[in-house]
């Protein structure tokens, strides 16, 4: 016969065992309440011109309502901060499940082994709806990023200030001079503040027949085309003085609104121009045309492609949930509205059928894409671009000639790229 003390001790042990075992049995048997956390999707949402907070909030609410078992957080991030925010999150081991990226950043993140294959998580029906020409993130036949925006840059003309459609850069200069009437209005918009996009230099560089790198991988920014482009830019800004005041302190986000306000005749701009002008309440008539080449060169525009990347080391459950979100977002009622707001031509067949995209603007965008060129798809490009911005800034500030600044930049780029 056991002692009372022994019986009590056994009871305590069994009680503790029950506390440990019973919840486990209940969980293994599929408890109604459950203890597993919801899959979580964090999405770094780039703030494109024209994109509204209401749309972001509506998209998040609609997805959560349709998928109550998934926690979704769409995080708005200004474009100029997106690359740094991503690299910081990766360095800390806590990247978002998905993020908009400049497609040109892809190799950098792949080099960190940080990119998961999106086709493992996004449905085949969604992939099949995306136009193959938009899949710039396809490397060696494998897709590493879901296209989210793709559009060539064009020339917007305020026809209340100038009705001329220049056929060459030389004509554009003369038309800008003729339209210039400071402080009432200005000939052409110029971006002068260092930021993550070197678009203005690329417009003029490509118009001069330039390429950023030669067949040997060495920088060719100091080629005759590069010197011509930067010399021309500096002439517009500091000799002709046909650009808006304060351009040295303005990124695209600050300079384009000068055009929207009817204060400039010409602006080299992206497909968002229509929606951005509408949101700004612009009332002046506008015409769209191709960015002209320099005399003797073929018309060539810059095309920008952005993608959505899936990031490691997030859990399979979270990445699968992110794939569900992409399937939801890429339905025409959502992706089509996104494209309409930001102004980019749709990357999906289903959205392209919407009436909103049958306009003169989108027809010019289609023409511009024929001979357009993108950014170099190389891993060090963000650093290379930073060095080029320094060269452009030195010329604008009168600290170096275009040839001096670009020779220095080319040498720095080759050194950084190991050439």
Residue 63's pLDDT band (cuts 50, 70, 90): very high
Q: Could you tell me which CATH class the domain 154-300+380-416 is placed in? A: alpha beta
Q: pLDDT by residue (tens digit) across 291-329? A: 999 999 999 999 888 999 999 999 999 999 999 999 999
* Core vs surface per residue 22-58: b (16+ CB within 10 A) or e: eeeeeeeeeeeeeeeeebbbbbbbbbbbbbeeebbee
pLDDT the model gives residue 376: 85
| Segments making up each domain of the chain, as ranges | 40-150+304-367, 154-300+380-416
Please report, for residues 51, 54, 213, 334, the alpha-carbon distance to residue 58 in angstroms, rounded to integers and kept in the order given: 12, 6, 43, 10
Residue 370's pLDDT band (cuts 50, 70, 90): confident
User: What is the per-residue DSSP string for 10-59?
Assistant: HHHHHHHHHHHHHHHHHHHTT-SS--PPPPEEEEEEE--TT--HHHHHHH
**DSSP structure class, residue 304:** E
| Helices and strands (H and E) in the chain: how many | 16, 12
pLDDT the model gives residue 36: 60
Beta-ladder partners of 307: 101, 147
Is it the case that residue 211 has pLDDT exceeding 70? yes
Is it the case that residue 233 has pLDDT exceeding 80? yes
pLDDT the model gives residue 10: 35
Q: Report d(CA 129, CA 347) in Å as an integer.
A: 8
pTM exceeds cut of 0.75: no
Question: Do the first three CATH levels of 40-150+304-367 and 154-300+380-416 match, i.e. the same topology?
Answer: yes
Q: Give the fold, CATH level 3, of 40-150+304-367.
A: D-Maltodextrin-Binding Protein; domain 2 (3.40.190)
Q: Report d(CA 130, CA 227) in Å as an integer.
A: 39
How many other C-beta atoms can be found within 10 angstroms of the C-beta atom of residue 211?
Answer: 16
**Cβ–Cβ < 8 Å for 212, 374:** no
Beta-ladder partners of 186: 264
Q: Report d(CA 197, CA 87) in Å as an integer.
A: 17
209 CB contacts (<8 Å, ≥6 apart)?
A: 225, 293, 294, 297, 298, 300
pLDDT the model gives residue 358: 85
Angle, vertex CA 327, rays to CA 339 and CA 331, nearest 5: 45
């Amino acid at each position: 016969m056991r002692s009372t003390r022994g019986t009590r001790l056994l009871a305590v042990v069994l009680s503790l065992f029950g506390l440990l075992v019973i919840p486990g049995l209940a969980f293994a048997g599929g408890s109604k309440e459950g203890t597993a956390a919801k899959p979580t999707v964090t999405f770094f949402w780039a703030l494109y011109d024209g994109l509204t907070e209401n749309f972001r909030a509506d998209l998040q609410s609609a997805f959560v309502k349709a998928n109550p078992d998934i926690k979704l957080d769409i995080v708005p991030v200004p474009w100029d901060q997106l690359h740094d925010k991503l690299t910081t999150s990766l360095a800390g081991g806590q990247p978002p499940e998905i993020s908009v990226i400049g497609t040109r950043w892809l190799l950098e993140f792949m080099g960190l082994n940080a990119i998961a294959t999106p086709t493992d998580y996004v449905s085949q029906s969604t992939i099949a709806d995306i136009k193959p020409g938009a899949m710039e993130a396809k490397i060696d036949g494998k897709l590493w990023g879901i296209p989210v925006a793709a559009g060539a840059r064009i020339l917007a003309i305020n026809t209340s200030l100038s009705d001329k459609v220049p056929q060459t850069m030389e004509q554009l200069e003369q038309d800008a001079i003729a339209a210039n009437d400071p402080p009432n209005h200005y000939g052409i918009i110029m971006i002068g503040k260092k930021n993550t996009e070197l678009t203005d230099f690329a417009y003029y560089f490509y118009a001069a027949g330039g390429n950023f790198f030669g067949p040997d991988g060495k920088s060719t920014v100091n080629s005759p085309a590069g010197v011509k482009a930067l010399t021309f830019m500096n002439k517009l800004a500091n000799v002709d003085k046909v650009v808006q005041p304060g351009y040295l302190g303005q990124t695209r986000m600050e300079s384009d609104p000068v055009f929207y306000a009817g204060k400039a005749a010409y602006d080299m701009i992206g497909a968002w121009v229509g929606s951005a002008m509408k949101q700004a309440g612009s009332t002046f008539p506008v015409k769209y045309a191709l960015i002209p080449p320099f005399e003797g060169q073929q018309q060539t525009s810059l095309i920008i492609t952005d993608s959505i990347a899936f990031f490691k080391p997030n859990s399979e459950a979270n990445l699968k949930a992110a794939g569900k979100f992409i399937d939801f977002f890429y339905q025409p009622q959502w992706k089509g509205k996104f494209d309409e707001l930001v102004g980019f031509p749709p990357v999906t067949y289903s959205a392209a059928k919407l009436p909103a995209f049958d306009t003169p603007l989108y027809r010019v965008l289609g023409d511009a894409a024929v001979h357009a060129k993108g950014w170099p798809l190389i891993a060090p490009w963000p650093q290379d671009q930073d060095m080029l911005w320094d060269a452009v800034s030195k010329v604008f500030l009168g600290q170096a000639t275009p040839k001096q600044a670009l020779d220095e930049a080319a040498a720095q780029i080759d050194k950084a790229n190991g050439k």
